[in-house]
Chains A and B, each alone.
Chain A
Amino acid sequence: MDSNQPKGIGFVIGASSVGTLIEWYDFYIFGMLATIISKQFFPEDSGTSALLSTLAIFAAGFIVRPFGALVFGRLGDLIGRKHTFLLTLILMGGSTFAIGLVPGFKTIGWWAPVLVLVLRLLQGLALGGEYGGAATYVAEHAPPLRRGYWTSWIQTTATLGLFLALGVIILVREAQGIEKFSAEWGGWRYPFWISLLLVLVSIIIRMRMKESPMFAKAKAEGKTSTNPLKESFGHRANFKMVLLALFGAVMGQGVIWYTGQFYAQSFIENVCRVNFVQSRNIILIAILLATPGFIFFGWLSDKYGRKWIMLLGMLLGVLCYRPIFGAFLKDTDTKVWMVNENKIEKPLLKRPTVKTDTSTSIEKGIIILSHQDSDWVYQGNTFNIKKTDTLLMEPDGFTIYPPLSALAEKDSDWANRKFQLKKDKQPVITNIELNSARKWKFIFLVWLMIVFVTMVYGPIAAFLVELFPTKIRYTSMSLPYHIGNGVFGGLVPFLGTLIVEFTKTKTNPGGDPLAGLWYPIGIAALCFIIGAVYLPNKIDKDVMD
């Protein structure tokens, strides 16, 4: 521990963690607002294309992270940890704030998506440099045999950053209402602007920090690296450890993390159709309850070693993902609800306050009637039923007629016309709000998955720090970390969705919703095998070399 530090290890951890937390917050808000961002920055007439483009930008954000790791890792090993992760913080805060300032596609045309893409790439680059710096900085201050515990505080930041981002978005959305929130200059921009304030506070704190004692000593003795990239990846002795870190630990850790937090949220909202607020509440509560696990497993890894705690987390993910996601599906299986409605065994109840919204649209001369019934109840779960009926006008079925609202005034022409109402036989249940018991069951299952995350993620910073020498530590640990998390982990939702697409057939147009899990399960299983066979379980007492 450096005696020159003004406030001790608590200050070191606090100052490092706050900055890292803000970087995660900045990174997450973009992904969480992807749907609104796609509408604002891409042409209105191509919804799917816009969403995919945003996803591509999202993926690009993850893919550039390894490049950020190389650029800033090298800088950190050359000029020091403190200045490098100060730089990444400024870059991240600046680009996040700037995203909130970019006018929409309606105002500046194609400049909008281009600017957003560039800023998103800068975000990814900054994040790539941040984590390795913060973890290295804290680890190089931590006393021997306490490194797992102290670095685990840094590990909580990624999850707490998600918590903060979700919390801010929900608060603004609820305060403004969905229409104001989604407008071109609406509330969705506030989380980006708030970032500037958070980053300024963090910069002031970090300015007061001193350089890592190990790096300062190495620099004073002239033992720092002159070419960290070559020494990290150009020499077999170190490169083999980089590969081992990636394939034996971080690759599995990345998919466990992203499946437990991000894929779970997306699945509950989009596949299970639980409403926006409740699906996020489920994740928020689960995260809050599971976060102490990072500290616990970090502490435990100081006693029993990092290896088996991380590998056990991966194994539990491999074994439990399908049953857990299967339970989500079963508990929100709307087909069962509809069958039960028809059998009148467990009838759907319509509340007295039920409100039916009917809207009409005309597509190629055919009038489409959309009914949305609110406040239906099934076993205490409330939901909407959306039916889309079609009104075929005869005899000339393709004549464009005015909307039904205009015809409602007992139009004589309307009354005399023949028409055929084609009723929707497969109404869709949307906007599900689970009853209390089911909600807590979902929270428990998500909590369980986040406990797996804390097992693999809590000890990983200490594990990586101990694997590499001081002079090239920042570079060597940053690259596998960001390939494992940014690429293998970051692409879980993207590849998961793609795998589900493969299972869609004419007879089963919905595909197998659980098929997307084969990607994280396969990667985690492979990583478990490699880790079990190759990884050491030793705790390195002296990283001062």
Chain B
Amino acid sequence: MNTVKKFLGIVWMLLAPLVVGLLAWQAADKISKATELTKANVALQWVIIMVVFIPICAGFFIFGYYSFKNYYDHLPQSSAEITDY
């Protein structure tokens, strides 16, 4: 299972920027296609989506990195493992 986690870590690391790119492409496409009347609303929608999802994708990338580095091979069995820094 640890090998699977390591492999999946790479998948998550690739997926995170891919999602950001996809969102950015869609945002540009939809805003440019919007009419003058709706442009502001369309832009607002996409700004909201980008602002929210970019940090989440960054978190997903870190999750993938941790997975790739085998940090999830062992999960804490007690809180002492989390709080003893």
| Number of A-B residue pairs having CB atoms within 8 Å of each other in the complex | 78
Interface check A288, CB cutoff 8 A: no
Shortest CB distance A147–B (Å)? 15
The DSSP consensus for interface residues of chain A is helix
Interface check A491, CB cutoff 8 A: yes
Given the known inter-chain contacts A49-B41, A63-B48, please indicate yes or no for A246 contacting B82, CB distance below 8 A. no
Shortest CB distance A134–B (Å)? 21
- The A-contacting residues of B in range 20-73, CB under 8 angstroms, are 38, 41, 44-45, 48-49, 51-53, 56, 59-60, 62-63, 66-67, 71-72
Q: Are B41 and A533 in contact (CB under 8 A)?
A: no
- The one of B5, B44, B48, B82 in contact with A238, judged by C-beta atoms closer than 8 angstroms, is B82
Task: Count residues on chain B whose CB falls below 8 Å from chain A CBs.
Answer: 31
Cα separation A528 to B79 with both chains bound (whole Å) = 25
Interface check A422, CB cutoff 8 A: no
Cα separation A470 to B79 with both chains bound (whole Å) = 8
Which residues of the other chain, B, contact A246 by a CB distance below 8 angstroms?
Answer: 59
Name the CB-closest residue of B to A535. Answer: B75
Q: Are A56 and B48 in contact (CB under 8 A)?
A: yes
Which residues of the other chain, A, contact B80 by a CB distance below 8 angstroms?
Answer: 545
Interface check A487, CB cutoff 8 A: yes
- The B-contacting residues of A in range 94-122, CB under 8 angstroms, are none
Interface 0/1 of B1-21, CB less than 8 Å to A: 100110010000000000000
Interface check A511, CB cutoff 8 A: no
Name the CB-closest residue of B to A544. Answer: B79
18 contacts between A and B (CB under 8 A): A49-B41, A52-B41, A52-B45, A53-B41, A60-B48, A63-B51, A231-B85, A235-B85, A238-B82, A243-B62, A244-B63, A247-B59, A468-B82, A491-B52, A529-B8, A533-B1, A533-B4, A533-B5
Residues on B lying within 8 angstroms of A by beta carbon are 1, 4-5, 8, 38, 41, 44-45, 48-49, 51-53, 56, 59-60, 62-63, 66-67, 71-72, 75-76, 78-83, 85
Residues on A lying within 8 angstroms of B by beta carbon are 48-49, 52-53, 56, 59-60, 63, 231, 235-241, 243-244, 246-247, 468-472, 483, 487, 491, 494-495, 498, 529-530, 533-534, 536, 545
5 additional A-B residue pairs with CB within 8 Å, beyond A52-B41, A243-B62, A469-B82: A238-B83, A240-B63, A244-B75, A487-B52, A533-B4
